[in-house]
Amino acid sequence: MKRVFVFVVLGIFSVILQQAFLSSLIQNINFDLVLVFIICSSLLLDEAESFLVAFFTGIVFDSFLPYIFGVNSIVYVITAYLLALIQKKIYKEKTVILLFLTFTFTLFKYFIYFSSYYIASISIDFLSVLKQDFIIEVTLNMLVSKFLYNLLKGIIYSYLQKEWKF
């Protein structure tokens, strides 16, 4: 439970950092620090822990945004669930795997966003957003993911090791 609490606090911190500083740092160049945090933490935590972290972080992130409430929570919970399913079947230490997963789930996020906009009858030019935003965001997400994964892994191994029970 201590690990969940620490990671929820880190998730809320990443939401605040994303909304306060990174969203207005440079115009038209942004990355989703919260999504990268959910990807990295889901690879390091077990199923229930990653679900709770994704759920609470998504709710907090949705409360900051004026768009459709719950879309980010859905994206983060599904991402955490899918990563929890495959985390034991992949070699997580390879950088290529982490970069591929970051690319895949960033693309998944865009798919869910466009689907929710379509359902809500909000018109958006899909191709122009993919050309302008997606390439930059996925590249920056991939760069940040390796750094954040190593940082979170260090936090777990240094402070949050699970105790062995015999």
Helix (H) or strand (E) holding 2: helix 2-17
* Segments forming the whole domain that contains residue 145: 2-159
**How many domains does the chain contain in total?**
1
Query: If DSSP codes are grouped into helix, strand and coil, which group holds residue 114?
Result: helix
Query: Taking 70 as the threshold, does the pLDDT of residue 28 lie above it?
Result: no
Stated pTM of the model: 0.85
Instruction: Indicate whether 166 belongs to any domain.
Output: no
Give 68's DSSP letter.
Answer: S
Q: Among candidates 48, 61, 47, which has minimal Cα distance to 12?
A: 61
Instruction: Indicate whether 11 belongs to any domain.
Output: yes
Looking at the chain, the whole-number percentage of residues with pLDDT higher than 90 is 9
Looking at the chain, the whole-number percentage of residues with pLDDT higher than 70 is 90
What are the tens digits of pLDDT across the range 70-87? 788 888 999 999 988 888
What are the tens digits of pLDDT across the range 85-114? 888 787 777 888 889 999 999 889 888 888
Q: Report d(CA 130, CA 110) in Å as an integer.
A: 9
Mean pLDDT throughout 134-149? 86
Return the CATH number at 104: 1.10.1760.20
Instruction: Indicate whether 37 belongs to any domain.
Output: yes
* Identity of the amino acid at 144: V
pLDDT, mean over the chain:
82
Q: Which residues contact 54 (CB under 8 A, 6 or more apart)?
A: 38, 41, 42, 73, 76, 77, 79, 80
What pLDDT shows up at residue 160?
65
What pLDDT shows up at residue 38?
92
